[in-house]
Amino acid sequence: MATYKFEQFNIDIVNPTVDANVDSIALQPTLNTISVDVTLTTDSATFGIRLEQIQVINLNYEGKDNLLLRVNERLQDFII
């Protein structure tokens, strides 16, 4: 149960289902971060964001489940 707030949306996003588009991953090798397109889907709407500065241990793709773990870690920064 989490509520997220992003500056581009004037409403809070409550208890969404989180997904990420694997094909949209971009690497920042010197920072050891990635960015990826993420959707947050609630009962009434779907919100799309570009999630930046996702810290990773290495830059190898280790599967969707692992990606979503990293995404959800980064999303903690937007919980209100």
Partner 1 sequence: MSTRIEISTSGGGGTTPVGATLMKTGQTTSYRTGDDGDLEAGRATDFFTLNTNNPFGNTNRFTDELGGTTYTNNIVIDWSTYDNIAGTVLGYYRITVNSGLSDTWNNIIDICLALSIGTFTSGWRLCNAYEYMNAMNMGIGNNALSYSPFNNSDGGNFHTSTSRDASFALNRNGMQLYLNNKVNSAKGIACRTFTVSGTTLT
What are the start-end ranges of the E strands in the chain?
Answer: 3-4, 13-14, 17-20, 26-28, 33-41, 46-55
46/66 with CB nearer partner 1: 46
Least distance from partner 1 to the Cβ atom of residue 27, Å: 22
Q: Between residues 9 and 31, which has the closer beta carbon with respect to partner 1? A: 9
Residue 47 near partner 1 by CB under 8 A: yes
From CA 75, how far away is CA 51, in angstroms rounded?
A: 8
Residues contributing to the site for partner 1 (CB under 8 A): 8-11, 39, 45-49
